[in-house]
Amino acid sequence: MSELERQLDELVELLRSGPKIAVLTGAGISAESGIPTFRGKDGLWRQFRAEELATPQAFFRDPRLVWEWYDWRRGIIGAKEPHAGHRVLARWERYFPHFVLITQNVDGFHRRAGSQNILELHGNIWEVRCTKEGTIAENYESPLPEIPPLCPACGAIVRPNVVWFGEALPSETLEEAYAASATCDVMFVVGTSAYVQPAASLPLLAAERGAKIIEVNPEPTPLSSSADFAFLAKAGEVLPLIDERLLAGRGQA
């Protein structure tokens, strides 16, 4: 039996004991769908300067430039599909009695893959927020017919309903994420460089409370050395492997 098979069987045995599960995902889970990550070799922060595009100051200074960038990203995301890894997490939401999905991603792929109860820590690129009234609306227009888009109700410019650098995360969503991390028995950490706070503190909180940490990432991260299971592999490969064993009843049930 390979080391990977041994790890998978040990993990499936843990999962079959009915643990409370939390999952934290980052850009890496959408990489196999063809969506660029932020800090990888061809990551967005290698091609663009975050402070010129993903901050309130940048938007105030040049809303057109910021919206042109988000319109481009929406075009890329809209042309791609969630993959098997996203679909496994959507299935697990129904399979496990206690399951919370927390994501840093704004691409909406978890929702498109069928997940319903998602804590979107950094917002959603398919939502816009009126800069005057604060109202949030879904907007799937791609490309956008006008840039910057305006609020249909009051005519003010709307902004992407995403969290920019220097901004607070949605407080209720963050509270729920902390609560899920503090009470879970198992936390999967999939496709994140575990670098950006406060999301990066969630696995540390879970581990502090005794949860088992399962990392899925082809690259090591600051979390890897303390993870109970570290699968140095792609999300689209490992998550289906775990799911197959879970369904087949393999592993010491």
The answer to whether 112 and 120 have CB atoms below 8 angstroms apart is no
Q: Where are the beta strands (DSSP E) in the chain?
A: 21-25, 99-103, 118-120, 123-130, 136-138, 158-162, 186-190, 212-216, 229-231
* Contact between 235 and ligand APR per CB under 6 A: yes
156 or 218, CB closer to ligand APR? 218
Helices (H), 79-129: 84-95, 109-112
67 or 231, CB closer to ligand APR? 231
Q: Where are the beta strands (DSSP E) in 57-211?
A: 99-103, 118-120, 123-130, 136-138, 158-162, 186-190
* Contact between 33 and ligand APR per CB under 6 A: no
Taking CB under 6 A as the criterion, the residue among 170, 218, 224, 228 binding ligand APR is 218
Least spacing, CB of residue 4 vs ligand APR, in Å? 15
150 or 233, CB closer to ligand APR? 233
104 or 181, CB closer to ligand APR? 104
Count of all residues that appear for the chain in the document: 253
Q: Applying CB under 6 A, what is the total number of residues that bind ligand APR?
A: 25
* Contact between 216 and ligand APR per CB under 6 A: yes
* Contact between 234 and ligand APR per CB under 6 A: yes
The residues, ordered by sequence, that sit 6+ positions from 173 with a Cβ below 8 Å of its Cβ are 119, 120, 121
Least spacing, CB of residue 6 vs ligand APR, in Å? 21
Nearest to 134 by CA among 116, 172, 107, 161: 161
Binders of ligand APR in range 126-155 (CB under 6 A)? none
String marking each residue 37-76 x if it binds ligand APR according to CB under 6 A: xxxx--x---------------------------------
The greatest distance separating any two alpha carbons of the chain, rounded to the nearest whole angstrom, comes to 64
Strand partners, 118: 101
* Contact between 108 and ligand APR per CB under 6 A: no
110 labelled catalytic: no
Strand arrangement, sheet containing 158-162: 136-138, 123-130, 158-162
* Contact between 192 and ligand APR per CB under 6 A: yes
The answer to whether 176 and 202 have CB atoms below 8 angstroms apart is no
Residue with the closest Cβ to ligand APR? 28
Interaction site with ligand APR (CB under 6 A): 26-29, 31-32, 37-40, 43, 104, 122, 191-193, 195-196, 216-219, 221, 234-235
